Every structure is written in C-alpha cells, then in structure tokens.
Chains A and B, each alone.
Chain A
Amino acid sequence: MTYFPEEVVEHIFDYLVSHRDRNSVSLVCKAWYRVERSSRRSLFVGNCYSVRPERVPARFPCVRSLSVKGKPHFADFNLVPPDWGGFAMPWIAAAARGLPDLEELRFKRMVVSDESLELLARSFPNLRSLVLVSCEGFSTDGLAAIATHCRLLRELDLQENEVEDRGPQWLSCFSDSCTSIESLNFACLKGEVNAGALERLVARCPNLRSLRLNRAISVESLSKILARSPHLVDLGTGSFTADHRSESYYMLIIALQKCKSLRSLSGFWDASPRCLPAVYPICANLTSLNLSYAPAIQGADLIKLIRHCWKLQRLWVLDCIGDKGLAVVASTCRELQELRVFPSDVFGAGTACVTEEGLVAVSAGCPKLHSLLYFCHQMTNAALVTVAKNCPKFIRFRLCILEPRKPDPVTNQPLDEGFGAIVKSCKDLRRLSVSGLLTDRVFLYIGMYAERLEMLSIAFAGDSDKGMVYVLNGCKNLRKLEIRDSPFGDAALLADVGKYEAMRSLWMSSCDVTLGGCKALAAKMPRLNVEIIDERDEGDEMEENLTDLHKVEKMYVYRTVGGPRNDAPHFVWTV
C-alpha cells in the first residue's frame, strides 16, 4: 500500500465508516496516520474528559461532525450530583477556533449553557444539525440564538433535555427565508410554543420529514400542521387531547389520513383512549410507535391499537399493556425488533403489571427481537431460558425487576441460570442489565459466555469480589461497567488494573471499595482518572476523619490522556 499515492489511500479510507476501523488504520504507519487524520470527517468522543477539547482540531483538522458524551449513564437516575461536570462550552469554544466548517454537533448528557449555544450559533455558519440528548443548563433563549443565526440548519433535535422555559418566541426566530428544516424535535420543552409561527415554518419547509411537538401543541394546531406537511415520516403528536365529539377531532382524522408516509409516531402526552381511533388508518404503515408517555391509555385500548400495527419494528409502551397486551403484540407484530416496557406506577400498588409471561410471549412471537428494555414485577429462570431459546439474536437485553434482589418466585432460586442462558445463547449480546436475586454465579456465566459484551449494568447483585473479577477477566470487549449496591471491594477493583485502560469507564456506587483501594488504583495507573464523589457538606470533617478504610460512596474511573480535570467541583476529588 505504500506505493499508492495518498489520494488513493484516502479514497479507500472513505469506505471505512466505523470509528473503530478508522482508529485501527491510523495505527498502521505514519503515512496512513497522516492520511486518515486529514480525511476524518466524523469524530466521536465517548467521554468528554478522556481528552482535552483543544486536541480535537489539532488532531483532526477536517472534522465536520462531532459527537461528545459527558456524564456517566447513572446520571440519568440522579446518582450523579448536579454540577459534577460535563460542560459543553470548552468543546464548542475549541471547535469554534479550529473547526469553523463544522456541520454537525451532538452532545449527550452534558451541561450546555445559553452562552455556549450563542457561541455555537455564531461560530458555525455551515451548521446543518444540532442534536442535544439528555442535556441541561440552557433555556429557550439559547434556542432562539440557534434559530436566528444558523441559516442552513436542517436538523434541531432536542431529546429529553431539561430546558428552562423563557417564552415561546424562540420559534419565531427562524427567519422567513429559512426553508431548509428537515427535522425538528422540541417534544421535551415544557412551555408554550407560538403555534402560528410553527405552522408558518412548517409551511415553508418542503423537506420536513420529522416533527416532534411538545405537550403544549393542541390538536387544532396539529391538524393544521399536518395539513401543511402530509409527507411527514415521523410525528410526535403533542398533547393529542381532544373531545372526540368535537370539530377539531374530526379535522385531525382528515389530516392524519392524508399522511401516507408516516412511519413513526410518538407523543400522545395526554391522549385519552377515545381519540386513538384517529390513528387507526395509518397504523398499518407504522414501524415505530411510542406510547410510553400516555398513562391514560390502558390495556384494552392499547390492544385495539396494536392490532392494527402489524409492521411494527419498534414499540415503547407502559406496563399497563399487561401480559395480555404483550401476547397481542406477539401475535400481531411479527417484525418487532425493539421493545421497551416502562413502569407506569412506580410508587404505588397499581394494577399495571407485566410479568415473565408477557416477555415469553413476545419472544415466541417475534423472532427478530434484538433490543429489550423490560421493567416487570417478577421473572423466572424458566422464562429466561425460554426467551434465550426463542431469541438468540439479542444485542441489548436490559431487564429490570422492580424489587431489588427478588428471586424466581416459583423456585425461590436466584436468577443466575436464567441470565446464564441469555448470555450463552445470545452470542452477539453487546449490552446487558441484570436484576433480581443474583449470586457470583451469574457473573461467572457472563465472563465465560458474553464475549461481545460492551456494556454491563449491575445493581444489588453478587456475593463477593469473585463476581466482579469473573467479569473483568472474561469479557474481552467490555467498555463500560456500572455497578451499584453490590458487595465488590478493593480486591476486585485491583484484580486487573490494566483492564480499565481498555475500557471507557467504570462506575461503582454503594459498593465496598475503600479510599485506600482507590488510591492504590490511581497510583498504579496514571492514565486513569479515579474520581471520588463525596457529597457530604462537612468538608472539614471529611479531611480529618478519612482513613484509607473509609468506604467510598461513589467512584468513577475512566481512562484519559487529558490528566485530572480542571473543572471539578469541590465534592469531586481525583485521587
């Protein structure tokens, strides 16, 4: 290959899409490193603290698409204190200086301020796409800046962010000459939106294919919007609240019927069952349906709706669908690939309930199922064995039994054998979350069989350090390990310290790891940041009374070439 001119090599590299492949070729020789570096268009940084932001334009000067992730996954469940970090500003600033041609930017679990959005809006005239997932720290004023200055914007996708509402005017900031919007998702916004401005925007953007409205959008507005954009492929319906006897509901039915291209539906924030029939005519084309924000729609109505959706590939529902409803899914949705069943009544003893039966039914009826997130009240080993047999193609298997440490209710045994069957059967498993009563044995199985496993989530499981060691020794491809409330201590932490440089991160909270263990790890591995998160207020007490035997409440370890953080708050301490 060395006698090929660089242009040819570059052209060959164009066919390499995955980051990993590109990373690999850049290690082959200096020539390839040079070529790869200057031809890299898309960069993914899985942990914003693994590298200093300024390195990015220096290392890859021609990047057009940048994706950065911040907080650890358990931040979604309030286990990471606010102000922990993950600020987007340094990244935006570095990109503004070094990558002015940036076209796409994506941040996940990061703190994005209005100032940084302003800077972003003014720095990248070619920005086509901005995606913010699970971020916080900004308001609708920041969105106004984006709308005002990003003239070529095609995609503004706000997924599950915490956005402060400062009024509806941001949408009106899209200039009248802006006709390029293809995808607009503001479903997570809590406040009112200027419906007229929205309708006009939709009317002048002929390429609009994906539109996800927030709860404030009424059915009347929805009808008008749909009338202007009958080519929509993906729709978030807004509140979907209407008196089914009203004129607006009638208009909605008419508008929906014209949307022959609709393949994906979500929203239904306040939908009542009587409004659902409006959707029936388009159900036969749907490949994706998200009803997980609609607790008023109970089992029977869900069933009626799902019976129309025989092409469904992705389904997100609440557990009020019940085992009965899942049986209907199994018999109707033969193409199903992804299923998520969320709990609807977390704190009370509601009637909503799915058990192992529902899962078994779906596994039997939907052979293409490869992604699962399932919250249930109980699970049995027998059911898991059956599921493993029925669906060997699982890539993501996340099972959450709502009561921690709950055994198999039939046999009163731990669920080791059930999960063991899953990892043994599903050779392509990349992501696994375990729950219920589990001993070290399940980790033995995971270490033995889960060769492709990249992410493992453990909660209230295991008996001893052996469990964690099985996993660290066995799972060759492990990248992210997150553990809470499990009896793993220093011996496990220090069993294979080199492993952590081959992984993105390790999270351990409410385990048996001590300060001494953390220090030992940090001493052995200088290219790891070993962060201890201690939220107690009495700072003095902390310094005086802490011995190495003190158990660390929250520890976050990650590989980095950027050294210790310079933006850590007082309660985060890099050992």
Chain B
Amino acid sequence: MEGDLKKGLEACPQLLDLIANEREWLVKEGGGEANGFGVAEERKLELRLAPPGEEDWVEEKEKRVEHSVKSILPLGHLSKVAKSNGFNPCSGAKRGFLGAVEPNPEGFAQQQSGLLHLQSKAGMEKEQQSTERKASGPPIAVTAENVAVSINSSQARTATTPIVGWPPIRSFRKNIASSSRPGLGTQNVSSETAAKFEDDKKGLFVKINMDGIPIGRKVDLKAYNNYEKLSLAVDELFSALLSAQRDPVANGGQKNAKEKETISTGLLDGSGEYTLVYEDEEGDKMLVGDVPWDMFISTAKRLRVLKSSNLSASSLRSVSRKRTATEC
C-alpha cells in the first residue's frame, strides 16, 4: 500500500502541472488507472465533506436545495451550481447515472464511513479505488443517491425516480449488465466470476473430502434437488473407498451394504457416525441441512464428511452462532 501511496504522490506533481497549464491539455500517456478526476479532485478538496463536518454538510445541502429549486440555471447562477456540482463526493468515483434525488441525512449518517473512504486525498487514488471496489455496490449506490443533490430540478421535478428515457439507450441495453451478473453489487466481474457463469450452466462441482480418506472427490450439487439425495450420493462416493481402507481383503457385499448404511445414516442430523458439513463463501464451516436447498447450493463451496466425534464443542458453537447470525 505504501508503494501505491508513493506512486500516487509521484503522480501528483503531474496533476499540479495540469492545473497550472489549464489552457493546454496535456494528453496523458495511458499509464495509471482511469483517473480523469485527478485534477478535479484537487479542486474538490476545498469543498469536500470534512469528516467531523456532518452539520456543515447538512447546511450546505439545504442551501443547495434552495438554489436548485429557485432557478432555471441562468448564467449568473453558474458558480453556485458549479459548487454544488463540485461538491459531489462521488465525482470521479465510478458513479453511474443519478436520478434527481432528495438527500437523506439519516442515510448519510449510515454511509458516513463510506464517504470517509471516498474523501481520501488525491494522492491516494489507488487506495481510494480499491476501497471503492470493496465498498462498492449497494453502499456507494445508496450514498450517491443520498448525498447528491437534485441539481437537475430546474423545473421543480424533484422526482426520486430515474428520468424517463435517460440515458438515451434502448431498453434492452439497460438490462444487459444486470441480466448477466449473478447479483447486484458485484463489481469487477473477474474471470473467476465469469468462470462461475460457465460453471452455473454446466453443473456445480464442489470438492468433498472425508475424514480418514486421503483422496477427495467432486460432487455436482446441481444433480440433486434435496439433501437426502446428496446424502446418498456421498455414500456412493465414499463407501467403496472406506471399505477398501478399512478392510482391504474382505469385500463382501454384505459388508458393503453395512458400510453404506453407516455413512449416510444420521449424516445430516448429527446422530450418525459421520456428519456432513460445508464451507461457505466466507470460509465458515456450517452444518449441512440448516438452510433451504437452493440457498445451500448457491453458497456452498466445499463439503466435508466429518467423524461426528471430531465435531468439537467449540466448532459446533460457532456453527450455531453463525446460523443465528444468518437468520437475523
């Protein structure tokens, strides 16, 4: 990060040059992130939200609302309008279209931490961008809506909905981004996520390991539509391996049948010799069977068949805590 900071600071002198040579546009060579807001950012530091300045912001907001409602942007009004435009803390941030929205002081308070991130200095562009990426999606979108004043309300059209027919693109283009992504707020659709698209269509394979068996397997969660079928599948995957490990010589059918019963019996309710757990997107270990099937297959990343005796008290506790947490 410090390296980033230094890079950012090195970039600063060039930015200052741009300000001095306002009349000449120096074409930047492609290096560096898209930081068209560089120079603008310097300017905006004067008008930015200071962290302790919540009250200041509310005052400013009220002033601006007055202005925008009064005027239809005559030329003389430009400086005020410009100020209110310049104020926007999200300028330069990757902000999409903003409808004319009334600011919401309560909403602001919630988003203040997000704003603080956005208000970092120009020199820390890279850090700012990575923070934005983390805190992207809903927080920023809501922040932008809450904070940006309805500058466009010259005809007192202070609607909270997006403007009809704006931006001027065909309807099917408006849906393109949302129809392909798995969910909102996923920025930086990386190759991993894109690979997930492919996986979604082809099947949901997750690794599954079993205590005491060195070889892991893969199971396609999409091939089943309930926990019972999964449990039987787990049986099929491991029973042979298990029996071979336990008794490499004796391979009687009877014994196999017994083994089969052994694995899947009580697999899901903790009453059997084995218990099935899974790891979710956040890396937490959860008991399989708690959540609805569809939710399970969308969050499960790995499966594990544990010996029930290995389920320590502490891990069980953390699992149940997590459960209650997710239920909230």
Task: Report which A residues bind B (CB closer than 8 A).
Answer: 74, 76-79, 134, 160, 241-244, 246, 270, 272-274, 292-293, 295-298, 301, 318, 322-324, 327-328, 331, 342-358, 360-361, 364, 375, 377-378, 380, 382-383, 385-386, 400, 402-407, 409-414, 433, 437, 439, 457, 459-460, 463, 484-485, 487, 510
Q: Tell me if A's interface is mostly helix, strand, loop or mixed.
A: loop
Cβ-neighbour of B25 out of A134, A272, A383, A400 (below 8 A):
A383
Closest to B193 in A: A296
A/B interface sample: 29 pairs, CB < 8 A: A244-B198, A272-B194, A297-B194, A301-B191, A323-B34, A328-B30, A331-B30, A343-B96, A343-B169, A346-B96, A346-B167, A346-B174, A347-B96, A348-B137, A349-B137, A349-B144, A350-B136, A357-B34, A357-B36, A364-B27, A375-B169, A400-B167, A400-B168, A403-B97, A405-B154, A406-B85, A409-B40, A409-B91, A487-B154
Closest to B28 in A: A357
A358 to B91, CA, bound (A): 17
**How many angstroms from the CA of A356 to the CA of B174 in the assembled complex?**
22
Which residues of chain B come closer than 8 Å to A414, judged between CB atoms? Answer: 78
**B16 contacts the other chain (Cβ, under 8 Å)?**
no
A348 B75 Cβ-Cβ under 8 A: no
Residues of B within 8 A of A377 (CB): 94-96
Q: Which of B180-188, B254-262, B300-308, B310-318 contacts the other chain?
A: B180-188
A386 neighbours in B (Cβ, 8 Å): 25, 27
Known interface pairs A79-B165, A295-B180, A349-B136; A407-B81 also in contact (CB < 8 Å): yes
| Contact (Cβ within 8 A) B164 A79 | yes
- The answer to whether A296 and B25 touch across the interface, beta carbons within 8 angstroms, is no
Which B residues have a C-beta under 8 Å from some C-beta of A?
22-25, 27-30, 33-34, 36-37, 39-40, 43, 72-75, 78-79, 81-83, 85-86, 90-98, 132-133, 136-137, 140-141, 143-144, 151-152, 154-155, 162-174, 176-177, 180-181, 184-185, 187-191, 193-195, 197-199, 201-202
- B196 nearest in chain A by CB position: A272
| Most chain A CB within a 10 A radius of its CB, from B34, B152, B194 | B34
Assess the B177–A350 pair: CB atoms within 8 A: yes
Query: Could you say which of B86, B165, B170, B201 has the most chain A C-beta atoms within 10 Å of its C-beta?
Result: B165
Q: Could you tell me if A324 and B169 are in contact, using CB atoms closer than 8 angstroms?
A: no
A349 contacts B94, C-beta separation under 8 Å: yes
Given A243-B202, A382-B25, check contact A349 B90 (CB 8 Å). yes
User: Are A412 and B34 neighbours in the complex by a CB distance under 8 Å?
Assistant: no
A222 to chain B, nearest CB (A): 15
Inter-chain contact count A-B, CB under 8 Å?
216
Report whether A77 and B168 are in contact in the complex, using a CB–CB cutoff of 8 Å: yes
Asked, given contacts A270-B180, A323-B34, A344-B176, whether A350 binds B96 with beta carbons under 8 Å apart, the answer is: yes
Chain A residues near B144: list those with CB within 8 A: 349
Chain B: which residue is nearest A382 at the CB level? B25
Are A349's CB and B191's CB within 8 A? no
Q: List the 4 shortest-distance A-B pairs measured between CB atoms, nearest first.
A: A355-B36, A412-B82, A327-B30, A77-B165
Check if B198 sits within 8 Å of A242, measured CB to CB.
yes
Given A293-B176, A298-B188, A346-B96, does the pair A274, B194 have CB atoms closer than 8 Å?
yes
Q: Are B187 and A350 in contact (CB under 8 A)?
A: yes
A106 shortest CB reach to chain B, Å: 19
- Residues on the B chain within 8 Å of A409, using CB: 37, 40, 85-86, 91-92
What separation, in Å, do the CA atoms of A518 and B42 have in the docked complex?
49
Whose C-beta in chain A lies nearest to the C-beta of B44?
Answer: A409
Is the pair B141, A348 in contact by a Cβ cutoff of 8 Å? Answer: yes
- A361 and B28 alpha carbons, distance in the complex (Å): 8
Which residues of A lie under 8 Å from residue B143 when comparing CB positions?
Answer: 349
Q: Given that A274-B194, A375-B169 are known contacts, is A351 also in contact with B188, CB under 8 Å in the complex? A: yes
Min C-beta distance of A178 to chain B, whole Å = 30
Measured in the bound complex, the distance between the Cα atoms of B226 and A61 in whole Å is 70
Whether A345 and B96, one on each chain, are in contact in the complex, defined by CB atoms closer than 8 angstroms, is yes
- B27 to chain A minimum Cβ distance, whole angstroms, is 6
Q: In the bound complex, how far is the Cα of B81 from the Cα of A220, in angstroms?
A: 56
Tell which of A342, A385, A457 has the most Cβ of chain B within 10 Å.
Answer: A342
Is B94 a contact partner of A351 (Cβ separation < 8 A)? yes
4 additional A-B residue pairs with CB within 8 Å, beyond A274-B194, A346-B97, A383-B25: A241-B201, A298-B188, A350-B177, A361-B30
Is the beta-carbon distance between A404 and B197 smaller than 8 angstroms? Answer: no
- A46 CB, min distance to chain B CBs, angstroms: 20
B24, B144, B170, most chain A CB atoms within 10 A: B170
Q: Whole-angstrom distance from the CB of A503 to the nearest CB of chain B? A: 21
The answer to whether A346 touches B177 (Cβ under 8 A) is yes
Q: How far is the CA of A298 from the CA of B188 in the complex (A)?
A: 8
How far is the CB of B21 from the nearest CB of chain A, in Å?
10
Tell whether, in the assembled complex, residue B96 and residue A160 are in contact, meaning their CB atoms are under 8 Å apart: no
Contact of A322 among B22, B34, B79, B92 (CB under 8 A): B34
A274 to B171 Cα, complex, angstroms: 28
Assess the A350–B94 pair: CB atoms within 8 A.
yes
* Contact between A463 and B75, CB atoms less than 8 A apart: yes
Q: Which residues of A contact B181 (CB under 8 A)?
A: 295-296
Given contacts A301-B191, A377-B95, A463-B74, contact A346 B169 (CB under 8 A): yes
Whole-angstrom CA separation of A346 from B179 in the bound complex: 13
Rounded to whole angstroms, the CA-CA distance of A356 and B96 in the bound complex is 15
Report the bound CA distance from A351 to B134 in whole Å.
Answer: 11
A460/B43 contact (C-beta < 8 A), A273-B194, A347-B97, A357-B28 known: no
Q: B185: which A residues are within 8 A, CB to CB?
A: 348
- With A and B bound together, what is the CA distance between A342 and B170 in angstroms? 10
Known pairs A274-B194, A295-B180; A407 contacts B165 (CB<8 A): no
The answer to whether B170 and A296 have CB atoms under 8 Å apart is no
CB distance from B132 to the nearest CB of A (A): 7
Tell me, in angstroms, the Cα distance from A243 to B205 when the chains sit together: 13
A295–B85 touching, CB < 8 Å: no
Contacts of B190 in A (CB 8 A): 298
A76–B164 CA distance with the chains assembled, in angstroms: 12
Q: Which residues does chain B contribute within 8 Å of A385, judged by CB atoms?
A: 25
B73 touches A349 (CB 8 A): no
**Which residue of chain B has its CB nearest to the CB of A512?**
B155
Q: Which residues of B contact A358 (CB under 8 A)?
A: 34
- A356 touches which one: B30, B36, B162 (CB < 8 A)? B36
Contact status of A298 and B197, CB under 8 A, knowing A343-B96, A347-B96: no
A146 to B152, CA, bound (A): 48
**Cα(A406)–Cα(B40), bound, Å:** 13
**Contact between A412 and B197 (Cβ–Cβ < 8 Å)?**
no
User: How far is B29's CA from A276's CA once the two chains are assembled, in angstroms?
Assistant: 27
